[in-house]
């Protein structure tokens, strides 16, 4: 029109170019990844560069149209048609592949029919009976998955969506965005479809975690607080003959406090992230927790118990499928590259599992996502011990699976004074159930860290493996208790010691929702286990 356009067109062009990349980012892309990851500068540069390139292309195109001899202003119809085509292309990309999430996304398709695990034979007491039940649970789970997944797996394969089947929860992980999710949700055999996030890769490998605290010179304070050192010296019980399974960030298998305790063989380690054949740990969290359960040199509750490990966390994030990868491996370990459906070995399952993680909605879990998994493990006689979480002091904060589940032994944290910590998550859980079940030391805990060193950490993550270690001591003292989850829970409940609540703390409806039955007492629990005898 012969008038100066001013700065408004430039603002619109640059603004739209910047909004474009953000419109295709899930909220967790910004709140979780960019807020915590070491690669923030890299991805900020990538996003800024992409937005600037789009802005330049738009500006150049706009200028070319204006620069044509006698062109005058660009035609409105041409501009409108171009915008419509771009919007249509954007809509197709958005609906079919979907938003990129943390780094693309997979879908976990949970089927309506789950395996019937009722009426399992009681079997003999101890490990023989546990192994028989585990074999029967494994058979029923696999049979159900094979029978009900066939048609859907074939259809997903035909569409090149790369399905991965699971049996511990009857489910399939597959590629797909909102369009695929809507199609799957409408199928009659499908109960619901969850998002199974994938982590955006680092531009360069993060430096491995290293411990810088000095090695202990005797039993660490938390081991003494629960009386585990008295179990070793006075009762002669150190956890021999029991296997503890860890699903976490990994384990430094060469750490001097852990190397001798690794069970070994071709079915004691699984890494579904990087497929490493030998135990390792980039983050340190898993090494620390395994050390508190079975580490030697005074850091572990059951130093002669053995351990097996699986990696379900990377940069402290996971997904429903990766949590299932590890829980499934714990029910029936398999060799590297093996098929979990046909090569699982339930007779090699660990006895008790320590789980210092939770699966929140941002990772794709809903409240019932892992419920069939923990129910199956309990039916097989494998005790699942899980961290309550670190979202205290808020009431009803035990929410992320598997902590709220009734068949999981949920652990809160106390400090040196036996007082519940401010960060320890509180109950009640969904439905009004009292959680946590009991507490253990979780503030200022010294344990192993990658590279042969040690570190001091806080959290219910640190408390949880100590309870798993106490169970290992109990089952080592009385092998007839192996797989007998009811009697084990009863002994832990009856022998727990007092745990305090700081003045002015919200009781959340009762102290049971803060401290459970109290502080785990290894010495009293093992003595009671030794007197328990065989079940009637």
- The Cα–Cα gap between 451 and 244 comes to 22
| Overall size of the chain counted in residues | 536
Closest CA to 402 of 382, 418, 422, 420: 382
| pLDDT at position 70 over 70 | no
Give, for 111, the enclosing helix (H) or strand (E).
strand 105-111
| pLDDT at position 32 over 70 | no
Q: What is the pLDDT of residue 46?
A: 66
Q: What is the pLDDT of residue 41?
A: 54
- The Cα–Cα gap between 422 and 339 comes to 44
Instruction: Determine contact, residues 386/352, Cβ cutoff 8 Å.
Output: no
pLDDT band at 332 (very low <50, low <70, confident <90, very high): very high
Q: What is the pLDDT of residue 36?
A: 47
In sequence order, which residues have a C-beta less than 8 Å from that of residue 334 and are 6 or more positions away? Answer: 267, 270, 340, 343, 344, 345
What is the DSSP secondary-structure string of 442-482? -SSEEEEEGGGEEEEE-SHHHHHHHHHHHHHHHHHH-GGGT
221-532 to CATH, choices 3.40.50.170, 3.40.50.720, 3.20.20.60, 3.40.50.200: 3.40.50.200
Both tokens assigned to 100: 């990129």
Q: Mean pLDDT, to the nearest integer, of 32-36?
A: 46
Q: What is the pLDDT of residue 56?
A: 73
- 113-124 tens-digit pLDDT: 999 999 998 778
Q: What is the pLDDT of residue 34?
A: 46
For helices 485-495 and 522-532, what crossing angle results, to 10°? 130
| pLDDT at position 309 over 80 | yes
| pLDDT at position 90 over 90 | no
Query: Which residues are identified as catalytic?
Result: 248, 285, 461
| pLDDT at position 486 over 90 | yes
pLDDT band at 187 (very low <50, low <70, confident <90, very high): very high
Find residue 438's DSSP bridge partners: 411
Closest CA to 235 of 416, 70, 478: 478
- The Cα–Cα gap between 435 and 46 comes to 44
Better pLDDT: 471 or 73 = 471
Entry pTM: 0.86
In the chain, which residues fall in CATH 3.40.50.200?
221-532
- The Cα–Cα gap between 247 and 408 comes to 15
In sequence order, which residues have a C-beta less than 8 Å from that of residue 152 and are 6 or more positions away? Answer: 109, 111, 163, 172, 187, 189, 190
| pLDDT at position 164 over 80 | yes
pLDDT band at 436 (very low <50, low <70, confident <90, very high): very high
Give, for 36, the enclosing helix (H) or strand (E).
helix 34-36
Q: What is the pLDDT of residue 37?
A: 47
Out of 13-22, 171-180, 339-348, 426-435, pick the least confident.
13-22
Could you tell me the end-to-end alpha-carbon distance of the chain, in angstroms, rounded to an integer? 97
């Amino acid at each position: 029109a012969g008038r100066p356009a001013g700065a408004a067109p430039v603002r619109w062009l640059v603004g739209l170019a910047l909004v474009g990349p953000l419109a295709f980012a899930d909220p967790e892309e910004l709140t979780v990844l960019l807020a915590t990851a070491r690669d923030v500068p890299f991805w900020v540069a990538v996003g800024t560069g992409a937005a600037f390139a789009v802005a330049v292309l738009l500006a150049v195109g706009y200028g070319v149209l204006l620069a044509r001899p006698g062109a005058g202003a660009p035609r409105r119809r041409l501009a409108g048609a171009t915008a419509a085509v771009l919007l249509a292309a954007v809509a197709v990309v958005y609906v079919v592949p979907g938003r990129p999430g943390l780094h693309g996304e997979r879908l976990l398709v949970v089927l309506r029919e789950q395996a019937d695990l009722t009426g399992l034979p009681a079997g003999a007491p101890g490990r023989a009976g546990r192994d028989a039940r585990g074999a029967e649970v494994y058979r029923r789970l696999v049979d159900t998955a094979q029978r009900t997944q066939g048609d859907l797996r074939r259809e997903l394969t035909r569409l090149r969506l790369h399905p991965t089947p699971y049996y511990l929860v009857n489910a399939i992980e597959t590629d797909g965005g909102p369009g695929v999710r809507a199609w799957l949700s409408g199928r009659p055999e499908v109960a619901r479809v969850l998002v199974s996030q994938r982590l955006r890769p680092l531009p360069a490998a993060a430096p491995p975690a290293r411990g810088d605290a000095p090695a202990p010179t005797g039993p660490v304070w938390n081991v003494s607080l629960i009386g585990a050192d008295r179990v070793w010296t006075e009762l002669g019980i150190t956890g021999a003959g029991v296997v503890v399974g860890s699903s976490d960030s990994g384990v430094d298998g060469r750490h001097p406090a852990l190397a001798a305790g690794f069970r070994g063989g071709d079915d004691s380690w699984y890494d579904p992230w990087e497929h490493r054949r030998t135990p390792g740990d980039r983050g340190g969290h898993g090494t620390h927790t395994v050390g508190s359960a079975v580490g030697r040199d005074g850091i572990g509750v059951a130093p002669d118990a053995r351990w097996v490990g699986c990696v379900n966390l990377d940069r402290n994030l996971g997904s429903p499928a990766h949590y299932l990868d590890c829980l499934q491996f714990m029910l029936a370990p398999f060799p590297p590259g093996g098929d979990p459906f046909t090569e699982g070995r339930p007779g090699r399952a660990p006895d008790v599992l320590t789980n210092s993680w939770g699966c929140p909605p941002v990772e794709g879990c809903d409240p019932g996502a892992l419920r069939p998994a923990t129910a199956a493990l309990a039916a097989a006689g494998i005790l699942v011990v899980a961290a309550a979480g670190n979202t205290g002091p808020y009431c009803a904060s035990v929410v992320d699976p598997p902590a709220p589940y009734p068949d999981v032994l949920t652990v809160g944290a106390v400090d040196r004074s036996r007082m519940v910590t401010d960060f320890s998550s509180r109950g009640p859980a969904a439905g009004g159930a009292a959680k946590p079940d009991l507490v253990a030391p979780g503030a200022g805990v010294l344990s192993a860290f990658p590279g042969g060193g040690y570190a001091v950490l806080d959290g219910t993550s640190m408390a949880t493996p100590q309870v798993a270690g106490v169970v290992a001591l109990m089952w080592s003292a009385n092998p007839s208790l192996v797989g007998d989850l009811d009697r084990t829970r009863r002994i832990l409940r009856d022998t727990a010691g007092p745990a305090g609540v700081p003045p002015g703390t919200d009781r959340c409806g009762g102290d049971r929702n803060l401290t459970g039955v109290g502080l785990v007492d290894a010495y009293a629990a093992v003595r009671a286990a030794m007197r328990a005898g065989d079940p009637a």
